[in-house]
Amino acid sequence: MDYLGIVIAFITVMLLLSIVVMGLVQLTQAALRLRGRNLTMGIAGLMMSDPKASINKNVDEAEKQSLAHRTHAKNEAANLLNDEMFPLIGRAGHLLGQSPKGDPIGTVRNVLLGAQRSWIEPGDLEYRLVARGVLESDDASAFAQRFEKTGPLLQDRFLLITRWWTAVWALLVAVTYQVSTPSLINELIEDPAKRERLVQMGETLNEQADSILAAFNYELVGMEALDEMKRQFPQHFEIFDELVATGWDRSELVGEMEIAVEALPDAEGRSIVARYDQILRDNMDRYAAAAARETRRANDRLSQVGIRFWSEGWDYYFDDASSPRLGNWLGTLMTAILLSLGAPFWFEQLKNATQLRDLLDSSKGRKQKDNQAE
């Protein structure tokens, strides 16, 4: 029995399904703007805990725990992160002029769609707190320092949110593709042809691991665009080097560049922003197309080995008497748990398993040569 082949084939199926999950998670992050929402909630939490913040004035302890107060804090945090309310902020948050007051419609839009920014520098936040009248200057400086210290906590919370969405999509993918872990293992044991086909797929996936994972790494979009801007406009390297360029929201990234080039002549600034916008468009189109391509390719490979979306319908989970098939339900739940580990995990396992297989094959080949020599 080719036990290692069974393991590699099983890992390959989990990996292909995990790639589908990864594509759905990335789509969810972009559609719901999870990173921006996480930042909004983090700033709102800091404001609620600061007794000197304007939102806490004339508010008793009972009111501070109310939904209305939490919503007020979230609204104010969304306003602080709305670049349209602060169009005249220079690099590092230095004031270049008086900022206009925000409109209520803009506030509602920010709350519904999440913050336009996915990150903000402490100096920029400090200025906005003062400009909005949330805190006095000295208190705003202390607030910005506390915010800077909470950066790792916000990152951890974002990762937790991402893992939660990964678990949700893992369950949905396992259920809709109707993959039961015990049934899959039995099938791989009894069907050598399918097992060998999956092993070959696994070898191909192992070779393509870096390119597949890179297709889903949307965080590189802004950074790659900035690197290209540094090559095209080396005279402004220091300006570009101050930008954060994280996230997938093009309007946010372009807005950050517009603020950065405020001090340059108008014509030159517009030219730089236009070029940056075009590079971002090209990069985003390229990454989106690559992610969609890899997701479709994973789906096609699953179809080649008989794993298709909702292929048996509800009959897979209920018998003719409408009684639940507990084995399939539990097996699918096991698959969902395994998929929630994520595609990078399964890529690593595939790499280890294929390396072990190659090592064993090499050792077996040397032993056969030694026997022939004797």
pLDDT reading at 253 higher than 90: no
Output the six-digit token pair for 128: 């906005």
- Percent pLDDT > 90 in the chain is 54
Phi-psi label, residue 59: left if phi above 0, alpha if psi -120 to 50, beta otherwise: beta
pLDDT value for 365: 62
Question: Once rounded to an integer, what is the mean pLDDT over residues 316-324?
Answer: 91
8-66 pLDDT, tens digit each: 999 999 999 999 999 999 888 878 888 888 889 999 999 999 988 888 888 887 887 88
Q: Cα–Cα distance between 10 and 326 in angstroms, integer?
A: 22
Give the pTM: 0.82
323 falls in which pLDDT band (50, 70, 90)? very high
Q: What is the dihedral of CA 277, 283, 284, 290, to 10 degrees?
A: 170
pLDDT value for 369: 59
Highest mean pLDDT among 77-81, 193-197, 250-254: 193-197
pLDDT reading at 290 higher than 70: yes
Count of C-beta atoms within a 10 Å radius of residue 49:
12
Question: Once rounded to an integer, what is the mean pLDDT over residues 309-336?
Answer: 95
DSSP summary character for residue 101: P
pLDDT reading at 95 higher than 70: no
Q: What is the dihedral of CA 27, 28, 32, 33, to 10 degrees?
A: -60
Least confident of 50-59, 176-185, 320-329: 50-59
pLDDT reading at 329 higher than 80: yes
pLDDT reading at 273 higher than 50: yes
Taking alpha carbons only, the member of 240, 230, 220 closest to residue 286 is 220
Top-confidence residue, 88 or 222: 222
pLDDT reading at 103 higher than 60: no
pLDDT value for 276: 94
322 falls in which pLDDT band (50, 70, 90)? confident
pLDDT reading at 104 higher than 70: no
Taking alpha carbons only, the member of 200, 178, 211 closest to residue 307 is 178
| Residue 26 and residue 218 in contact, taking contact as beta carbons nearer than 8 Å | yes
106-149 pLDDT, tens digit each: 333 333 333 346 778 788 889 889 988 999 999 999 999 999 99
298 falls in which pLDDT band (50, 70, 90)? very high
Average predicted confidence (pLDDT) for the chain: 85
Would you list the domain boundaries of the chain? 32-156
pLDDT value for 325: 95
Beta bridge partners of 318: 324
Top-confidence residue, 172 or 250: 172
Question: Once rounded to an integer, what is the mean pLDDT over residues 188-211?
Answer: 95
Question: CA distances (Å), 247 to each of 67, 117, 157, in order?
Answer: 29, 8, 16
Top-confidence residue, 199 or 54: 199
